[in-house]
Amino acid sequence: MSNANKPMRSALKNVRGLGAAKEGVQHWWLQRVTAMAMIPLLLVMLVCLLKLATGDHAAVAASFRHPLFALVALLSILAVFWHMKLGLQVVIEDYVHSEGLKMASLLGITFATFILGGIAALSVLKLFFGA
Amino acid sequence: MANVERPLSPHLQIYRWPVTMATSILHRATGCGLAAGTVLLTWWLVAAAAGPDYYAMVQACLGSWLGRLVLFGFTWALFYHLLSGIRHLVWDTGRGYSLAVANRASWLVIGGSVVLTVLAWILAYAWK
């Protein structure tokens, strides 16, 4: 057994470091990046929304015409829906064990995320441009 | 393949509940709740974009007692997931795993989420 201490993995595989899932720590990392982004974004959004909660339509429309508020809203939508997709994916992978249902659920939340996030972002853009 | 009947290990109902178990489950539960809540949030944005009439209708729905109850729950879930999420980020740095710290942080997250929720609602009513 002269090869006993030799690594079984090729050097290239170690360099890539992507593991069996072929995407390395990307899912884990993006969940953290979106989480960190949401801490300031959502605190700002929450204070603004609390202020708008009892206001009329004109006050809401006026807020969204401010570029900074529209930008924070759009970035929040991006971070929230991305984080949501990653989180729901883990929940499905943990609890849905039949292969077909799992694939269908994963496709379902992916499409739902993009459709819902798209609608939310489009609404913000419409308010911003005042169309 | 995965659906073969195998013996199961004892599950939730058999254990004494340490607070860390509750906070772990609540993090996932609030995450799922918040995901459902994004439908409400998107609905509110669409209403704002649609115009004053539709916005007034949605505001009336969200402002009803049922709407307020759902929004209150949503606010709590948001603060809980936020505080618990910050705790996850601390764990990622390799800190906070000792039993004493984990237990104390668990109660801090639970208590903090309730306090912040009540504060947020006081603020919303004060700004009326």
User: How do residues A70-109 score in pLDDT, each as one tens digit?
Assistant: 999 999 999 999 999 999 999 999 999 999 999 999 999 9
Q: Is residue A3, in this structure, part of any structural domain at all?
A: no
* Per-residue b or e along B85-102, where b marks 16 or more CB atoms closer than 10 Å to that residue's CB: bbbeeeeeeeeeeeeeeb
> Cα separations (Å) of A96 from A88, B32, B70, B96?
11, 15, 28, 31
Q: Is residue A11, in this structure, part of any structural domain at all?
A: no
**How buried is B52 (Cβ within 10 angstroms: 0-12 exposed, 13-18 middle, 19+ buried)?**
middle
- Assign domain B19-126 to its CATH architecture: Up-down Bundle (1.20)
pLDDT tops 70 at residue A44: yes
Q: Is residue A36, in this structure, part of any structural domain at all?
A: yes
A27/A42 Cα distance (integer angstroms):
22
- For B83, nearest residue in chain A (alpha carbons): A39
Interchain contact A88–B (C-beta under 8 A): yes
Q: Which of B2, B42, B124 sits opposite A97 (nearest CB)?
A: B2
Q: Is residue A97, in this structure, part of any structural domain at all?
A: yes
User: How do residues B61-81 score in pLDDT, each as one tens digit?
Assistant: 999 999 999 999 999 999 999
Q: What confidence category does residue B3 fall into, taking pLDDT thresholds of 50, 70 and 90?
A: low
Interface predicted TM-score (ipTM): 0.90
Q: Is residue A40, in this structure, part of any structural domain at all?
A: yes
User: How do residues B76-111 score in pLDDT, each as one tens digit?
Assistant: 999 999 999 999 999 999 999 999 999 999 999 999
- For A50, nearest residue in chain B (alpha carbons): B124
Q: A35: which chain B residues are within 8 Å (Cβ-Cβ)?
A: 85, 88-89
Domain range holding A41?
Answer: 25-129
The full length of chain B comes to: 128
pLDDT tops 60 at residue A2: no
CATH number of the domain encompassing residue A33: 1.20.1300.10
Q: Which residues, at least 6 apart from B38, have a Cβ–Cβ distance to it below 8 Å? A: A80, A81, A84, A116, A120
Q: Is residue A13, in this structure, part of any structural domain at all?
A: no
Task: Inspect the interface and report whether the beta carbons of B88 and A35 lie closer than 8 Å.
Answer: yes
CA distance A24 to chain B (A): 17
Domain count for chain A = 1
Q: Is residue A113, in this structure, part of any structural domain at all?
A: yes
